[in-house]
Structures are given as structure tokens and as C-alpha cells.
A and B are shown apart, each in its own frame.
Chain A
Amino acid sequence: MNAPDRYERFVVPEGMKKVAYERDMKIMNAATFTIQREDHTIGNVIRMQLHRDPSVLFAGYRLPHPLQYKLVIKIQTTSQSSPMQAYNLAVTDLDKELDHLKQVFQEEIAQKQSEYY
């Protein structure tokens, strides 16, 4: 009776921004990103990639409640970089890594299939 529609888990409603940014008032170079309608699938991946950046002092993600379909990522960087820069860099690097993975996989498939014939 109170259950939300299933597509609520992945459809962002009209007027809502997918990514919201909020600067942390009390800590220098820290910000919180709220991503709507996403879950551990990209949360963990972005967090892992942020950890590889030496200018990132703190990076973590959480899902505040399992019935609220949003993801909160908190980033703190050194003064050399900014949370936004670190976030964008992480997303760009992941994009490149996935491009590479796709290419390698397709080559392997093509090679394996040619072995059959």
C-alpha cells in the first residue's frame, strides 16, 4: 500500500538535479555530493578511484537510507586541488579505464572466435 513505484529506484523525477553539490562550511576544501537514484554500483567505484588520488585527504560514500534512493559522497582535498576537481578527475579516469577494458575485451573475443575457424 505504501510501497513506492519500482521505477523510483532509477528514474530521476522532473526538476530534480542528478548531482547536487554542497560546500562544507566548517572544513576547508571539503564538499558533499548528493547523487540521486544511484547506489553502491557507482558509489564504490568513484570512492575507490578518489582514494588513488594523493591530493584527496578524505573520500567516502554512503547511502543514508535503503528506501531513499540517493548516494552521498564526501570529499576533502589538500589545498592543491578542490573536491570538484578531484571528483571530475576520478570520473574521467574511470571513463578511460572502462574504454580500455572494453577494447581489450573485444579484441580477446575476436581472437578467441577466430581460433574456432
Chain B
Amino acid sequence: MDTVTSYTRFPTVRIRELKDDYIKFELKDTDPSIANALRRIMIAEVPTLAIDLVEIETNSSVLNDEFLSHRLGLIPLKSERAMEMRLSRDCDACDGDGSCMYCSVEFTLNVKCTSDQTLDVTSHDLISSDPSVVPVDNNLAQDINGFDAPEARGILIVKLRRGQELKLRAIARKGIGKDHAKWSPAATVAFQFEPEIHINEALMESLSLEEKKEWVDSCPTKVFEVDPQTQQVVVVDAEAYTYDEEILKKAEAMGKTGLVDIISRDDSFIFTVESTGAIQASQMFINAIEILKTKLDAVRLSFDTEEADDQFGELGAHMRGGGM
């Protein structure tokens, strides 16, 4: 057996911004395929919890049952527990109906409008059987008087008039975005290749100040700027460059082709991850790495496939008649 060689890369990460539901970071020294795989997994394969089964007892609202159930399914639920939970179809603790505590969370909703004012039924009215799994509420800001700000009402489900009632029981289960988009924890996941901008100083010198300003202005986004003190063109924000080639065309039109050289580095990415609130953005990325590892584990060749191969396996050698 020859020495085991390894072609592993060692990626590096630098976080630029970190908030609960938003993270912006740089990922370097890795391949676009890994960056793309992580992006795809964050959107489609990180598991979360969402309402999957709704039993309606009373519904006299203006929306029909299935419309209401659809809306309930789309409400994001805080899913920190989701990675440890089992999928309903794999759960053996319940009798296959997918409603035991290991694979589901039960919600109830019971509202009746008794006043003349329109009653807004919101996600705040959903009562969960597990206090750690509740609908996401992004607007818990408090206004200056210390009361809950007017927006802290939760996600609107339906509006009821006097006499209308809504009573239902809902079961939330674990799932992935590939099955239905309600289970996707990602609001937006994007990555861009980091651009590298090289200004040809010699050619730049041959431009007058007005020409420099004109050229800088021809870029739709603010990438360059003429420094007022030194009268030089400097790069102000390389990442704002959207790979439209306006400045290149403008340079050609002015007769100065090759004024600037912009290449996108294929080993350095800037990720922007925004979550719906179901999982923290940083946790979403960590879960995505875990899931990619699980997938790779699942596709490893099993030992008996290797052995049975008639060219390379040892069993195959026996079958061929002795081998060595």
C-alpha cells in the first residue's frame, strides 16, 4: 500500500458582520463547488420545523380551510431543535401517525371575535406545546414609552369580524426545503467572487482630471473615486463592481484600452446569509457543513462493494482463481 496522500485544502474564514439573522463573511482558499454546495444546502437541505398537518374544528372566517392551512404552514417557527429531531416517517416512537413528542410539536389556535372592531389573528395566537418552538417574531422592539411597539403583533394569519370564530389544532414537523419551501430557513443566501482590480498607472497618468472624473462616473456603482488631494483614481469599493463592463467600454471609447484590469478570484468568496429567523444565520452555516458531511458519508463505498469487484477486490481475486 503506497503512502496516503492528501489533497485537502484548508479554508479560512473572516467574518465581517454578525447579527442574529444576518451574517456576511469571507471564505478563502476553497473551491467554488464547495461554496455553491453550501449555498444549495442552506437553501434546500437544512432542516427546520413547520406546520404540516392542520385539523380544523371551526372556521367561519372569510378564508377557506386549505387557504388558512397553507398560510399556517408558511409561518416560520424557531427551529433550534430541528437538527436533533427525527423525521416523522422515520420515527418509531409514535405509531406511524407522526405526532409524538420526538418528531412533532403541537399548536392550538382558538379565537373568536366578540367586539365590533376587526380582530387580527396573528402568530401570537398560536399556542405551542413546546415553549422552545414558537413562531418567529422579528418585531419585538419596544418604543420609547416601554410598551411593545405597534409592530410587535406577530405575523397576520386572518382577520375576523364580529361573530366569526377560528378553532384549530396544528402539528409541526421536521422537513427540508427540497420537500416544500416552507421548510427553508434561508431568506437569502448569496456569494460573490471577490474581484481584483489592477489600474494601469502609466495609462492613467495620460488622462486629464476631467477625463478621469468622466471615466469614474461611467461606472454604475461606486467602485472608483478621484482622490481630491492627489488627483489619482483610487478604488473605493471593489466589491460594488457588478461585472458590467461599462468602465472597460468607456476606456475603449476614450482610446485607452487596458486602462484597468478586473479579474474575479476563483478561490475567494464573499457570502451573505440571511435567515428567516427560524435558525440563527451562523448556526445555519454550521448545520449546512454538517449536512454536507453526512451526505458525503452516505456516498462512501461500502466495503462489500469494494471486495466484490472482480478487478481490484480480494474476493474477486479468489473468484478469478487464486490471483497472487
Contact = CB atoms under 8 A, between A and B. Distances in A.
B53 to A, nearest CB: 15
Given A41-B37, A48-B31, A91 B306 contact: no
A105 interface: yes
B289 A93 contact: no
Nearest to B285: A105
Interface residues of A, number: 50
A62 interface: no
Q: When A and B form their complex, which 8 residue pairs have the shortest distance between CB atoms, in order from nearest?
A: A48-B33, A44-B33, A52-B7, A102-B289, A93-B8, A96-B8, A41-B40, A82-B312
Interface string A79-117: 010101101111101111111111011101100110000
Contacts of B34: 45, 48, 97-98
Contacts of B289: 98, 101-102, 105
> What class of interface size applies to chain B in its complex with A?
35 or more
Contact of B18 (A9, A53, A109): A109
A41 B41 contact: yes
B9 A97 contact: yes
A111 to B, nearest CB: 8
Contacts of A58: none
A100 B312 contact: no
Contacts of A97: 8-11, 30, 34
B297 interface: yes
Contacts of B5: 89
B295 A21 contact: no
A84 B306 contact: yes
B12 interface: yes
B291 to A, nearest CB: 9
Interface stretch (B54-62, B173-181, B193-201): B173-181
B311 A23 contact: yes
Interface of B: 2, 4-15, 18, 25, 30-31, 33-34, 36-37, 40-41, 45, 89, 176, 178-180, 282, 285-286, 289-290, 292-293, 295-302, 305-306, 309-312
Given A82-B312, A109-B15, A109-B282, A102 B290 contact: yes
A16 interface: no
A66 B176 CA distance: 19
Given A21-B309, A84-B301, A95-B293, A6 B180 contact: yes
B299 A38 contact: yes
A57 B132 CA distance: 52
B302 A100 contact: no
A10 B298 CA distance: 12
Contact of B15 (A18, A46, A112): A112
Contacts of B300: 19, 88, 91
Contacts of B301: 19, 21, 33, 84, 87-88
B14 A108 contact: yes
B178 A9 contact: yes
A102 B286 contact: yes
Nearest to B308: A21
B310 A23 contact: yes
Nearest to A99: B293
B271 to A, nearest CB: 11
B37 A112 contact: no
A115 to B, nearest CB: 9
A6 B179 CA distance: 6
A44 to B, nearest CB: 4
Contacts of B45: 10, 41
Given A45-B33, A48-B33, A108-B15, A84 B312 contact: yes
